[in-house]
Amino acid sequence: MRFDVTASIVLYKSDPDVVGAAIKSFLQCTLPCRLYLLDNSPDRQLQTLASDERVEYIFNNGNIGFGKAHNIALRKSEVESK
């Protein structure tokens, strides 16, 4: 599926309330959109934030770094846009 708006958020032991507010704001978009949550945390506690079909949670099983995590989202969005 093609998305008009794609974004990603890299997580690392992030405050669920703050991230939840950002997700809620992003999902107010009326265009077809996809949000990637790239979790560099040591556990999957933040996975519950991906409760909408437009949000994809990716657990990296360790802190792989901010840029490397965003690159994962870029590659996934390229594949999904074809």
Predicted confidence at residue 16, as pLDDT, reads 98
Predicted confidence at residue 44, as pLDDT, reads 97
Can you give the residue range of the structural domain that contains 11? 5-80
Q: Is the pLDDT of residue 81 over 80?
A: no
Q: In total, how many domains does the chain have? A: 1
Calpha distance 63→74 (Å, rounded)? 18
Q: What is the pTM of this model?
A: 0.94
Structure tokens at 23: 């997700």
Calpha distance 41→9 (Å, rounded)? 13
pLDDT one-digit tens code per residue, 5-55: 999 999 999 999 999 999 999 999 999 999 999 999 999 999 999 999 999
Predicted confidence at residue 80, as pLDDT, reads 82
Q: Is the pLDDT of residue 79 over 90?
A: no
Q: Which residues contact 5 (CB under 8 A, 6 or more apart)?
A: 29, 31, 32, 33, 34
